[in-house]
Chains A and B, each alone.
Chain A
Amino acid sequence: MLKGQEYTQLFQVTDKVYNGFIETFKDTNPLHTDDLFAKEKSFSGKVMHGNILNGFLSYFIGECLPQKNVIIQTQEIKYNLPVYLNDKLNFYAIVEDVFESVNTVEFKFYFSNENNKKVAKGKIQIGII
């Protein structure tokens, strides 16, 4: 992986992803499960769990890079806008830095929705093992 290399991937928060997340992690906070509650808080409907995006990030690192011998070392993510059920998200990542001495690569990334608004952005650092 070289500095400046770019990657894109399309993700969708499907029923299967959403229900699978709740089934696995048991976070049934009404913001995530109750449309009425979410609308009372000024959202358009129930808001998807932010950490669903971290699942997509995991998929990107584990499955979309040209090599499989990778491990996530650090990551940070900032959520800018809500994501709703069935939203399609464009994921973009660019290699921001390469640290050959410790076989480490740092990406900047963002997720944008169908309105081209960035819903989340961050950095992720991986090791080549």
Chain B
Amino acid sequence: MDAEKILKDVNEIFIDVLDNEDIVLTRESSAKDIEEWDSLNHIQLVVAIEKHFKQRFTSSEIQNWKNVGEMCDAIAAKQNQ
């Protein structure tokens, strides 16, 4: 799956989990840019991402994510393992 498709899928997950059809993610998007992206919703986002991409991350891996781009890079890296 290429980077564009990963970002598109992640965007759809954000729209669904955060219940906000207006979300348009870029690689630079972070929790500061999306009001609903709080600590509780972050858990639901990670769970949904892990289910969707059939991947598992560690807590230290997700703590390194500073923005959506790093999240997508981590997903791509797992796919290439």
| A interface, CB within 8 angstroms of B | 73-74, 97, 99-104, 106, 125, 127
A100 in complex: contacting residue of B40, B43, B44, B56, CB < 8 Å: B56
- For B46, the closest partner residue in chain A by CB is A102
CB-contacts of B1-48 with A (<8 A) = 40, 42-44, 46-47
How many pairs, one residue from A and one from B, have CB atoms within 8 Å of each other in the complex?
Answer: 33
B62 in complex: contacting residue of A102, A106, A125, CB < 8 Å: A102
| B interface, CB within 8 angstroms of A | 40, 42-44, 46-47, 50-51, 56-59, 61-62
Residues from chain B with a CB closer than 8 A to the CB of A106 are 47
A11 to chain B, nearest CB (A): 28
Query: Which among B40, B43, B44 has the greatest number of chain A C-beta atoms within 10 A?
Result: B43
Residues from chain A with a CB closer than 8 A to the CB of B61 are 101
Residues from chain B with a CB closer than 8 A to the CB of A74 are 44
A108 to chain B, nearest CB (A): 14
Instruction: Tell me the complex Cα distance, A100–B40, Å.
Output: 15
